[in-house]
Structure 1
Amino acid sequence: MLKEGEIRVLALGIICDSRDRVFLSQGFDPDKKENFYRAMGGGVEFGETSEAALKREFYEEIQAELTNIKYLGCLESIFTFNGKQGHEILFIYECDFVDHKFYQLESINFNEKKRQKTALWVEIKKFKLGELKLVPEEFLTFL
């Protein structure tokens, strides 16, 4: 949830497969009435490293363990969602699933707090061609 005046610190994981697809969470902005896609992960808690947060969030959301975790960089994102301004610092990691069953699934439904969400494999070229929206847009440089 966005809280006014708060800067959120998040850890997000990029997981790609051998078919040039990336595993992302699908979202919808009701104010803009548009779908978007974002890397999975979540908030870093006080006293927790961003890598530990990444592992915890993937396990909490889809019961997935991660391996081959490599830090790629950091992004700052200032955006509008549902009519409210947001500000995030994003620690970006490249990683793989431990359990190869996740590479066979087309999508996974999960709950994030009270919201039902879907994570799925999406062809990277769809973002590069502008067919789908990836947020933040600067995330494309890591794909």
Structure 2
Amino acid sequence: MLREGEIRVIALGIIRDESDRIFLAQGFDPEKQEIFYRALGGGVEFGETSCEALKREFYEEIQAELTNIKYLDCLESLFTFNGKQGHEILFVYECDFVDPKFYQLESINFNEKKRQKTALWVEIEKFRSGKLKLVPEGFLTYL
């Protein structure tokens, strides 16, 4: 959730499959009337590392455990969502699901705070071609 004047620290996990797809959460900006996609993860809480936050968030959201977790980069993101300015520091990881069943699913519905969300497998080419929007800006370089 965006709070004015707050910089959020986030951990995001990039998970790919063998068919050149990536596992992402689908979002919608009501102000822009725009669908976008973002890697799963969430906020780092006081007293935990970004890697611990990544594992916790995946478990809380979709009951998935992660393995082969590899730190890629730290990225700063300034953006507008629903008409409000946002500022995030993102710790980006590459990882895999422990349970192979997640690679067989097309999508998973989950709750994030009070919002219903969907995570799904999306072909990376759809972002490279500009057909779909991947956030944050510049995230495509990690794919």
Normalized against structure 2, the TM-score is what? 1.00
What pairs with 1:51-130 in structure 2 (closer than 5 Å)? 51-130=51-130
The reply on whether 1:20 has 2:29 as its aligned counterpart is no
Structure 2 contact 73–93 (Cα < 8 Å) conserved: yes
Distance 2:112 2:80 in 1: 20
CA distance in 1, matches of 2:118, 2:4: 26
State the distance in 2 between where 1:137 and 1:119 align. Answer: 19
Give the secondary-structure state (helix, strand or coil) at the position aligned to 1:64. coil
Contact 2:25 2:37 in 1 (8 A): yes
Structure 1 distance, partners of 2:99, 2:126, is: 26
Question: Percent of aligned pairs with the same residue?
Answer: 84
Give the distance between the partners of 2:114 and 2:132, measured in 1 at CA.
Answer: 26
How many pairs does the alignment contain? 143
Question: What one-letter code is carried by the residue in structure 2 that aligns with 1:117?
Answer: K
Please give the alpha-carbon distance, in whole angstroms, between the structure 2 residues aligned to 1:51 and 1:6. Answer: 21
CA shift for structure 1 position 137:
2.3
For residues 57-84 of structure 1, the C-alpha deviation after alignment (integer angstroms, 9 at most, x for no partner) is 0000000000000000011000000000
* TM-score, normalised relative to structure 1: 1.00
Could you tell me which runs of 5 or more consecutive residues in structure 1 were left unpaired when the two chains were aligned: none
Q: Which amino acid aligns with 2:91?
A: F
Runs of 4+ deviating beyond 6 Å? none
RMSD value, Cα: 0.3
